[in-house]
Amino acid sequence: MKYGIFRNILLFSFIIALPSCYQDLGNYEYKEINEIVITPGKYSFMPPAPGMTATVTIDPEVSQTMTEGTANLSYEWRRQVTAVSWETVCNDPVYNMEVTSADVSAINLIFAVTDTDLGITTYAEIPVIPEFAFSQTWFLLQNVNGQAVLGTVDGEGDTRGVNPDISTQISGLSLTGSPKGLGINPFRRSNSIFSGMASYEILLGVFTSYKPYILNGSTLAEHSLNYFRLLYGKTVSGDMTFSPELMDGQRNGFAIIDDGRLWYAVPDEYSLMYAVNISDELGGGDTYRAEDLCHYTRSQHLLLYDGLGNRFLRYSNANDLGMGYSDRQSIVEGGSAEYETYRTGTRNNRDVIESIGEGNRPNVFDPENIPSGFVIDDMSRSTGDMMTNIVATGHTGNTLHIYEFCMYAMVDAAEGSATLPYCSNSWTVSAEGDLSVYPGRVPVTTSYYFTRTIFYAAGNNIYKVDLTVDSPSPELVWTAEDPSAVITGLKFKSDYEDIAYNGGSASGSYEYKGITHQLGAVVRHADGSCDLAELVLTAAGEIERNDVGESEVLVFEGFTEVVDFVFSFRDIIN
């Protein structure tokens, strides 16, 4: 047995050793292949004004390792049309790409260079990035000698562009009339709902006694979607009156309150608004007065406060984007020929304002039993029970009344899966400071960044109220230096959406600017001059401190009698 094993080992060793006895006498020829190298470069563009075009020259550098000249090369440019389709747009080494005002997202190109002698193709992906003015901007509407003047604080960090009158920078921008208010929609869809990934543009509403201006938020040119094109029913009925009181747009819907009436558009590229009726059980028609509203983060729903009935109500638009789409398209493209289609509007205007009601769990408070004399101050999104809720704050005298609504329960109710009460919490808090300095609304705000915490102003002070404790009471956050000053406006840059940057398809993730905890405050002095203060807050609602221990507070001066202010932003900055 031992001998057999030894013999097998010898045989195996001999076989392994055979290759080492082989002498390679071959004479091989190795031929280098001509390699094409594409250096794409970086390209960007400013979207032109509506009706105009601009040309972007894309001129990548192409080199070859073994061949001189370009006689052996052919070229192909392909531009992405949808998420899965591309079209050939050019066969030259340089592509002069035409862009329009509709090009508000990155344009993706593939550049293919082929060595026709060898049949080998080299590819390069080339993104062309749009750049926008006013991509992170506070707009401030001022009353200067009875006339509306638009000012800006543009950019981020310590270095900002501050302009008390932006018309000195933007040719063609001229406002007429006394100032009334501002509105913003950072998510007005600009491409077809069938185009795959959504592209957005910003609509800025600047409302004066003379005209309700609707501007492109990046160029400040008047938008083709003017006020009466948005509120199309006014055009159809010949009603040219206007009284805009609120304009707010989100990814899942676009709303305007005009003289207490809610107008609503589903989030497609047409932004065709209908006047919303209240249910017959609650009075029917326009027997309500919408004074504030807040969109849900899910679906086409919103919550509103009815000042006429002193109650909170809800509106749920059950239209999916495809339902009624052909009607909306024909109305917009057909104009007056389609007035009757708009008037009937059965598929696009069938939903009404309704009572909030009650789900599987009993409500903590009655949304239709609000204290007499209640003034609504703010409706924003906040966080509670590990989810985003709507918090509505108002006041009577020097008392704050705070109501929390579980939007998820109300949406889930339609799906039969609600497990939380619709009206989930309420608080009554005695305010610190004198609220009587405000003849109407008190400056109040919050955002989903904070867990059940609201912020309000009284005089020259900003307070927070932590609603998670047993006995909520105001705590001082910040005081303006001028003791005679009054803080007349208080808003977070955003109560829900943030700005993504430094990421995308290559990295698969983004970093965020944190605008949901950056608080803006308008400080008005006795002489009518105004400052914009910006505070960066922690999750506890305290002012953040930088690396050297200084408070993260910036103050921008030079404004006059600020009537209203909004923050405009693009959700992705490349």
Measured in degrees and rounded to the nearest 5, phi and psi for residue 259 equal 50, 45
| DSSP label of 145 | T
Looking at per-residue pLDDT, the higher value among 62 and 102 belongs to 62
Asked whether residue 1 carries a pLDDT value surpassing 60, the answer given is no
Token pair 């409302």 in the structure block, residue: 207
Helix and strand tally (H, E) in the chain?
A: 6, 39
Amino acid at 205: G
> Measured between alpha carbons, how far is residue 27 from residues 30, 31, 518 in Å?
10, 13, 73
Report how far residue 130's alpha carbon sits from residue 127's, in angstroms, rounded to the nearest whole number: 10
- Averaged over 280-295, what is the pLDDT? 98
DSSP result, 208-226: ESS-EEEEETTT-PBPSS-
Give the least confident one: 12-21, 178-187, 545-554. Answer: 12-21
| Model pLDDT for residues 220-264, shown as the tens digit of each residue | 999 999 999 999 999 999 999 999 999 999 999 999 999 999 999
The listed range with the strongest mean pLDDT (32-41, 307-316, 492-501) is 307-316
Average pLDDT, the chain: 90
The Cα–Cα gap between 40 and 60 comes to 4
Instruction: Report which residue type is found at 354.
Output: E
Evaluate if residue 311 carries a pLDDT over 70.
yes
Question: Both tokens of residue 122?
Answer: 């080299």
In the chain, % of residues over pLDDT 90: 72
User: Which of 197-201, 360-364, 499-503 shows the lowest mean pLDDT across its residues?
Assistant: 499-503
The more confident residue out of 30 and 561 is 561
Q: Are 292 and 255 in contact (CB under 8 A)?
A: no
Q: Which two tokens stand for residue 357?
A: 């009601």
CATH code: domain 36-130 is: 2.60.40.10
Which of residues 418 and 128 earns the better pLDDT score? 128
Question: Which residue type does 117 have?
Answer: D
- What pLDDT is attached to residue 286? 97
15-29, 94-108, 238-252, 534-548: least confident range: 15-29
Q: Given pLDDT bands bounded at 50, 70 and 90, which one contains residue 425?
A: very high
Interatomic CA distance for residues 545 and 177, integer angstroms: 42
Cβ-proximal residues to 354 (8 Å cutoff; 6+ apart), any chain: 278, 279, 281, 282, 313, 314, 315, 316
What pLDDT, on the 0 to 100 scale, is given for residue 8? 42
Closest C-alpha to 341, from 261, 263, 233: 233
For the cut 90, the answer to whether the pLDDT of residue 169 exceeds it is no
- Provide the token pair at 480: 């303006």
- Written as six digits, the tokens of 496 are 């829900």
pLDDT confidence of residue 28: 55
DSSP letters of 310-371?
A: TEEEEEE----TTTTHHHHHHHHHHGGGGHHHHHH-TTTS---EEE----SS--SS-TT-PP
Which has more confidence, 291 or 338? 291
Residue 215, pLDDT score: 96
Would you list the domain boundaries of the chain?
Answer: 36-130
Q: Which amino acid is at 159?
A: T
Cα dist from 30 to 27, 33, 65, 119, whole Å: 10, 10, 16, 19
Q: From CA 437, how far away is CA 463, in angstroms rounded?
A: 15
Q: Cα 525 to the chain's mean position, in Å?
A: 32
Counting residues of the chain whose pLDDT is more than 70, the rounded percentage is 92
Q: Single out the residue of 244, 241, 272 nearest to residue 335, CA to CA.
A: 272
